[in-house]
Structure 1
Amino acid sequence: MKPFLLLGAAALTLASCSLQKQTSNTAKTLGIYGAGVIQKPVLTNLKVNPQSFTSSYAGSGTQGIDYHKSQAIAKAMIETKADVIIEPAYTITQSGSGISIALKGYAGRYENFRPMEMADTSLLIDVGIIDYNNGPGDTPAPKPAKKKGKAGWILLALLVGGAAAASGGL
């Protein structure tokens, strides 16, 4: 009887030990600015459909209104095959825990991705993003110093005179 009891206790002891799977993930990250990062500007065209669309979304739950608005945008982007929604306008109706959103806007798609060339910099100069006259290495011209007027001295004299008159000194 003792060997069976000992064998049963050993079996239960070994069966109660389970293997635990441990997973660890590592990722190397690097900020987008600084040494070792090469940035290659890319230009694209945004093609906007001139006809507006309307999409509807219905949801429920305790999430905030921003969550449901983002879900409505995601649904509309899938329906219209858009990369971006231009001028989204929301009509929101809440009843109990349910919410329905009617979304109206314009569907936009990015097309013609291409690397930036020197000829494209004229676009950035025109809107003021690039200014060759005051680049990051240039020292700005010193601003002329403001001339100090006599108004400050007159105000100080009036304050001192008023304080002296109030105290009976004059």
Structure 2
Amino acid sequence: MKMINLKKEMLLLLGISFLVLYSCQKPIDPIEKPKKTISIKEAKQLQDNYIRTRSVILKDTFGYEDSREVWFSLEELEQYLSYVKQEATKKGYQDLGVRIYFGANDPTEKRKFGLSTVFLAPTGKKEYQRGSFLNFNYQDDHGENIYEIDPLNRGGVGDPPVNY
């Protein structure tokens, strides 16, 4: 009888301990909206400007509608950004960023000029030894391309394009 009560008390104590420990975990802080986000209205205006000033010219030149959007999953982007942080840090880079370049896929039978695409290239500033009186290493505010880390491509292009 005494053994059964002891087991119940132990189970109760373990249960309470688990609840206390679980409830004491720090809540995840909400992520603030980035300062450089734009409104949906502004995004639509940017795309309308592109269609009016560039897409029409490309369609007239190519004879078909070119892609004007590229899709990457959040998982792919998060993995790539984590990989860039890891590799760039190992290689001595700081102030990391990503530069997005426009590109064109190779021609195909269907698309003799290929379709437009983008690729993401990591950027950063090399950590140079400090302490010199003069630093002759000029870099712009956005850092240099890190050619030691492969860019990201292979996003899905809209064919036909999807309007925003």
Common fold by TM > 0.5: no
Question: Shorter-chain TM-score category?
Answer: under 0.3
TM-score (norm 1): 0.23
More strand as a share of residues: 1
Larger radius of gyration between Structure 1 and Structure 2: 1
